[in-house]
Amino acid sequence: MRKFMNLSILFGLLLLFCGAPEESPKVEVEKPETEVELYYGTLTEAELQRFIKALPAFKEAAAEIDKEMELLEGPDAFKSMMGQYSTLNKQIPELDAKLRAAGMSWEEFWPALGKTYMALAAVFMDSMMVQMKEQMKGQSEETVKEVMKGMEESHQVYEAVPQINKDLVKKYMIELQRVFEME
């Protein structure tokens, strides 16, 4: 019995150190888009139209929760705000059903919300850059450089927004102003 036990241990050690197959190379799996990267994705016209139609249902369902949301400021305010919004479907059980009734599921709605917000902000930032350049005419070169430096730093956040998204937002600006209640 002792010989059998020693032979089994020897055989096990040989298999473990000599006969084990080589490790297969690790395959790197592409990370899914983060929420913020998702908001730089391409917005389609059909998606924007459905979003505009579904936004009032979202606003109605989220009205109470909206009051409880943190007021955010600073350069990362958008990311934080969208992070809060991305989980609202868990806080408002009937949200997905209300959005589906309006023509868009929650899984479609919140990325469209982010892409639309980003595109709106990019359009407004582009407009502000043009206005600021006009207003700065006649100012000292040093003042212009200082002001424009700050504007350009803010503008960098919106540079990655696809032009098609900006164009769609411009095309639907009247409807967006109405549903977002912008003046």
CB-count burial class (<10 Å; 0-12, 13-18, 19+) for 98 = middle
For residue 15, pLDDT over 60 is answered with no
One DSSP character per residue, 118-134 reads: HHHHHHHHHHHHHHHHH
pLDDT at 28: 41
pLDDT at 53: 96
CA 134, 181, 86 angle in degrees (round to 5)?
Answer: 100
Q: What is the pTM of this model?
A: 0.69
Q: Is residue 14 helix, strand or coil?
A: helix
Q: 50-94, pLDDT tens digit by residue?
A: 999 999 999 888 876 666 555 555 555 556 666 666 677 788 888
Q: 87-130, pLDDT tens digit by residue?
A: 777 888 888 899 999 999 999 998 999 999 999 989 998 888 88
